[in-house]
Amino acid sequence: MPELVEVETIREIVEPQIAGHVIGKVTVNNPAVIACPSAEAFCTLLRGQRITGITRRGKYLIFGLESGDRMIMHLRMTGSLLVTPQNYPLEKHTHVIFDLSGDIQLRFIDPRRFGRFWLIRSGQEDTESGIAKLGIEPFDPGLTAEYLKSAFAKRKKSVKACLLDQEIIAGIGNIYACEILFASGIRPDRSACSLSEKELAVLAEKIPEVLKYFISRNKTTPEQYLAGKGWDYQNTPWFRVYGHEGKPCPVCGATLVHEKIGGRGTTWCPHCQN
Ligand SMILES: [Zn+2]
């Protein structure tokens, strides 16, 4: 599932290719992926609009349009976005195709069809997409030990489950929650409200640091990205614990263990994480 890191990579690759381009015909092959408005209105309203840029909030991408309208999307489990030449071979499970000026297309592909689009008109409040409920961005200077302390105090769950809670911090999923807790030396099953001031300070520092590191390791070119169908992430070899259960800890050599914590598979070092 694309998490903040992968969504940021997609933004960095796609934005320079489509910013300034005007949307022509929009083809929706599967109306279920258009959450709001109707698929028909979505296509009509977008036609003729110029794309100004793409921003990210948590795991959402927000396409700015010159009119002030914004098209929001969430890739969910298996969604990907490709920028292709007009006549590029069509992938299976292509649900939406945006014809863009300059004879290119923006295509949304999603085998599991959980990805969603919302079109929010200029001046309209976004009550639909879920963005309004998101917690702080990991790179916001407001993400401090104090912020975490007050957010964790209200929730009686593990620190791992709190990192996955989008209403506390936006964008962290299972992979980077494991990596952040390893880098912080904190056991994932610790009750979040049991963390000391010092541990909270380390966590507040490691969250942006780990995410930035993996964004930098994920750098790719538009050509590589297209050849990998938007799925060929470059940072996988740099994971230190995620997917490494049963292997030696990269720091101490102890065997990494795997447990279900907060409903999700979690890999951690029983020696380094306390
Ligand atoms: Zn270790």
Distance in angstroms (rounded) separating the CA atoms of residues 88 and 57: 30
Give pLDDT tens digits for 259-272. Answer: 999 789 999 999 99
Distance in angstroms (rounded) separating the CA atoms of residues 134 and 57: 8
pLDDT the model gives residue 198:
98
| Res 84 pLDDT > 80 | yes
β-strand partners of 256: none
Please, which residues have CB within 8 angstroms of residue 12's CB and are 6 or more apart in sequence? none
| Res 230 pLDDT > 90 | no
Q: What is the DSSP secondary-structure string of 207-244?
A: HHHHHHHHHHHT---HHHHHHTTT---S-GGG-SSTT-
| Res 6 pLDDT > 80 | yes
Q: Residue 116 — very low, low, confident or very high, per pLDDT cuts 50/70/90?
A: very high
Distance of CA 249 from the midpoint of ligand 1 (Å) = 5
Q: Residue 238 — very low, low, confident or very high, per pLDDT cuts 50/70/90?
A: very high
Q: What is the SS3 assignment for 81? A: strand
**Average predicted confidence (pLDDT) for the chain:** 96
Distance of CA 185 from the midpoint of ligand 1 (Å) = 9
- Taking the complete model, does pTM exceed 0.85, yes or no? yes
Strands 70-74 and 116-120, by their bridges, are antiparallel
Distance of CA 253 from the midpoint of ligand 1 (Å) = 6
Distance in angstroms (rounded) separating the CA atoms of residues 127 and 157: 28
- Structure-token match 């940072």, residue found: 235
pLDDT the model gives residue 231:
79
**Helix 197-217 vs helix 145-153: crossing angle, to nearest 10:** 110
Asked if 214 and 183 touch (Cβ cutoff 8 Å), the reply is: no
Distance of CA 49 from the midpoint of ligand 1 (Å) = 53
Distance of CA 269 from the midpoint of ligand 1 (Å) = 5
Q: What share of the chain has pLDDT > 90, as a percent?
A: 93
Distance of CA 272 from the midpoint of ligand 1 (Å) = 4
Closest C-alpha to 145, from 184, 176, 182, 177:
184
The torsion angles phi and psi of 23, rounded to 5 degrees, stand at: -75, 130
Copy the structure tokens of residue 140: 């916001």
| Res 62 pLDDT > 80 | yes
Strands 23-28 and 104-109, by their bridges, are unpaired
Distance of CA 95 from the midpoint of ligand 1 (Å) = 44
pLDDT the model gives residue 30:
97
| Res 112 pLDDT > 90 | yes
| Catalytic site positions | 2-3, 59, 264
Distance in angstroms (rounded) separating the CA atoms of residues 32 and 161: 30
Distance of CA 186 from the midpoint of ligand 1 (Å) = 11
pLDDT the model gives residue 233:
79
62-100 residues labelled b (16+ CB within 10 A) or e (exposed): bbbbeeebbbbbbbbebbbbbbbeeeeeeeebbbbbbbb
Give pLDDT tens digits for 191-221. Answer: 999 999 999 999 999 999 999 999 999 989 9
Give pLDDT tens digits for 125-167. Answer: 999 999 999 999 999 999 999 999 999 998 889 999 999 999 9
| Res 232 pLDDT > 80 | no
pLDDT the model gives residue 1:
75
